[in-house]
């Protein structure tokens, strides 16, 4: 069971967009996929068609750290992706992670063990994180097998990337299954001389961690969210191209981590 954590301490870089469409791409390859929404803003849950009004806090990861069994919190979606949704009450998750009955840095790893043993219920688990460092990221990295960071060629984004790489190095001390960070260039369009400098820095310093597939700015990725569809269900002029790019990304990950 591969556990991919979508992380970067910068909003709007495409964590949720990649999480949802990646998960959908794995699912199209007939892999069993679970997405856990770890961001109180619940964008991934909404994108997957989950109605926030109908949810209770205990339907989210909050329920699990307070003793609910993981399968009780999993719901199906029209994408064929299983979902543990987020709830606005998760705004206090950093505090709850320190005080709830099943809390602590290994709480998510322990939770995933419930669906890993004796045989894995899922092939792929995708964790969608908020743009923040702190206990939620640390708990996710303690459970992840690989961290995925979407980036653009911008100073603030590259700073956030450096901070994330440090967090992952720390997490590897307690999680030997965490293979490292893979970087996805998303909404990637270096145009100005300044952009080119950051693009060059990205390739020079992080070349080994860069995935080959680059996701450009595409209307289907912006517009499909509002219709609560992944690009695999959304129909538009550029959706086919974007689907192929996500299938390429997923193939790259399978070649790094092996099939399941």
Ligand X SMILES: Nc1ncnc2c1ncn2[C@@H]1O[C@H](COP(=O)(O)OP(=O)(O)O)[C@@H](O)[C@H]1O
Cis peptide before 118 (omega within 30 of 0): yes
| Nearer Cβ to ligand X (15/109) | 15
What residues make contact with ligand X under the rule CB under 6 A? Answer: 11-17, 43, 131, 186-187, 215, 217-218, 221-222, 225
Q: How far is the CB of 162 from Mg ion (least distance, A)?
A: 20
| Nearer Cβ to ligand X (43/146) | 43
Nearest residue (beta carbon) to Mg ion: 16
| Nearer Cβ to ligand X (1/132) | 132
Angle, in degrees to the nearest 10, between helices 155-172 and 135-143 = 60
- Enumerate residues 6+ apart whose C-beta is below 8 A from 65: 96, 97, 100, 101, 102, 103, 107, 111
Q: How far is the CB of 3 from Mg ion (least distance, A)?
A: 18
**Count of residues for the chain?**
260
Q: How far is the CB of 43 from ligand X (least distance, A)?
A: 5
Residue 15 contacts Mg ion per CB under 5 A: yes
* N- to C-terminal Cα separation, the chain: 7
* Contact criterion met (CB below 8 Å) for 215 and 245: yes
Residue 16 contacts Mg ion per CB under 5 A: yes
| Nearer Cβ to Mg ion (39/199) | 39
Q: Which of residues 19-48 bind Mg ion (CB under 5 A)?
A: 43
| Nearer Cβ to ligand X (2/218) | 218
With CB cut-offs between 5 and 8 Å by kind, which of ligand X, Mg ion, none does residue 185 bind?
none
- Enumerate residues 6+ apart whose C-beta is below 8 A from 258: none
Q: What's the 3-state SS for 128-170?
A: ECCCCCCHHHHHHHHHCCEEEEEECCCHHHHHHHHHHHHHHHH
Applying CB under 5 A, which residues contact Mg ion?
A: 15-16, 43
């Amino acid at each position: 069971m591969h556990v991919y954590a979508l992380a970067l301490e910068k909003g709007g870089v495409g964590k949720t967009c990649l999480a949802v469409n990646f998960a959908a791409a794995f699912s199209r390859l007939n892999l069993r996929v679970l997405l856990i929404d770890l961001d109180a803003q619940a964008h991934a849950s909404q994108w997957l068609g989950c109605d926030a009004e109908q949810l209770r806090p205990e339907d989210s990861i909050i329920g699990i750290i307070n003793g609910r069994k993981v399968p009780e919190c999993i719901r199906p979606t029209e994408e064929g992706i299983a979902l543990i949704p987020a709830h606005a009450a998760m705004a206090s998750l950093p505090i709850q992670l320190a005080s709830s009955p099943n809390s602590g840095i290994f709480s998510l790893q322990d939770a995933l063990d419930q669906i890993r043993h004796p045989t894995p219920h899922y092939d792929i688990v995708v964790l969608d994180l908020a743009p923040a460092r702190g206990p939620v990221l640390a708990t996710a990295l303690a459970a992840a097998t690989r961290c995925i960071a979407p980036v653009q060629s911008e100073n603030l984004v590259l700073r956030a990337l450096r901070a994330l790489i440090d967090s992952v190095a720390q997490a590897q001390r307690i999680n030997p299954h965490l293979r490292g960070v893979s970087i996805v260039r998303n909404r990637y369009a270096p145009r100005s001389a300044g952009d080119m400098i950051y693009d060059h820095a990205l390739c020079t310093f992080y070349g080994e961690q860069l995935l080959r597939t680059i996701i450009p700015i595409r209307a289907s990725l912006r517009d499909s969210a509002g219709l609560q569809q992944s690009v695999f269900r959304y129909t538009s002029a550029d959706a086919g191209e974007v689907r192929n790019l996500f299938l390429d990304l997923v193939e790259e990950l399978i070649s790094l981590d092996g099939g399941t």
